[in-house]
Structure formats: C-alpha cells, structure tokens
Amino acid sequence: MESRLALVRRARRMNRMLHETYPDAHCELDFRTPFELLVATVLSAQTTDVRVNQVTPALFEEFGDAAAMADADRDRLEELIRPTGFFRAKAESLQKLARVLVDDFGGEVPRRLVDLVKLPGVGRKTANVVLAEAHGVPGITVDTHFGRLVRRFGWTAETDPVKVEHAVGDLFEKKDWNQLCHTLIWHGRRRCHSRRPACGACPIAAQCPAFGEGETDPVKAAKLIRDPRR
C-alpha cells in the first residue's frame, strides 16, 4: 500500500514531468470574453475543441453577448451550431442561460461557482473552466480525460467527478490546480489514450502503475502520439 506522503510526492513528481513535456498546455477553446468561453464550453460537450473553434467565429459575429444570444432567432442559432452535434438541445441551453445572465447578472458572467452552476446547461465542469480561464480562480476541471488519467495514475479510485475533484485537489497546492488540469488533458489527448495508450513513449512510464496497458515498444508507441489540433 502506498502511503499518503508517497502518493503526494509521486503525484507531484508526475505533474512536474508532464509539465516539462507540455510546457505550453492551455485551454484549446478560442475565446475573447468570459461569455464566449462559457458558450464555447457548453458547445464542447460530445464534440472536439477543434470543431467548436470552427463554429464560434461566425456564431459570435452574430450573437457575441448575452443579450444578442437571448434574442437570437432559434433557427439561425441552430444552423450556426449544428456541426457541434445535439444542436437543438445546445441552442435551448444557450438561450436559457443567456436570458438568466441578462435578467439576473446584468448580462455578465458571474464569478462564483454557486452562481454559475445555476445557469441552464452549466455543470460543475463548465463552471470550473470559466472560473479558471476567465477569472483566474483555482479549480479542478474533471473532464473525461482528467478522470480517466487520475484513476490510471492511481491518484484516486473515485469515479464521481466531484469526489475526483476533491481527492486530486488535496494532492496539490491550489496555485497548481489550473495548469495541472491543462497538462493532464493534453496528455490524455496526445499520449494516454483511452483504448491504446502510448506507454512506450510516455515520460512518466516509470511512475505509472498502469504502465503496460498500452503499447510498450518505444517505436510503435511513438506512432500513437497525436496532435488533436490537426
């Protein structure tokens, strides 16, 4: 059994090594304002950041703030976001949250988690993304990649996103939370894939209890590395 102290040291060592591998890790959604980030994050459900970034320039040109989004023609809104999938449900969520922003927050995106999660279509993951990226508030964003990796790393056995958030947050200083999330998400998208991780080309292979779940041959593993931005 790994002691608590040993786990903290190993987790922080792995994070340092991953940060050296991905020094430029950042949010891959394009945005200029907190409202644009909120909308982009809602749209990113069940699709890729690349696809969202292809859609949002035209979307924000027509409906770039909460008031414009709230009053948007529904058919036009659905047409613009159709490539992201589930466009009818997303359009409804976007217009509902835009109306709440206008009615309750003067059209501005709130800076508190408790307020953000009350917005239609906004869960804790989306709220943490907005707080971290738009307002600089430390938070743990548990998306599919993050949850899968921290369990694979043996940092926690929890599966509930909120429990994962707290368990992993306890291993690191708050000042490191936001960058930690970016680093792990980049690693999950590029090397530590769900079905066939590139174990043989992984910088933290020696620290990972799941080494061997994927391809261990360095040459073959290197071919599994991909850049989701392309």
* Active-site amino acid positions: 125, 143
List the alpha helices (DSSP H) in the chain: 4-21, 34-43, 49-62, 66-70, 74-81, 87-105, 113-116, 124-135, 144-152, 161-169, 177-190, 218-222
Note whether 227 and 22 are within 8 A (CB). no
On the CB side of 67, CA atoms within 13 Å amount to: 3
Instruction: Please tell me the distance from the alpha carbon of residue 89 to that of residue 108, in angstroms, as a whole number.
Output: 23
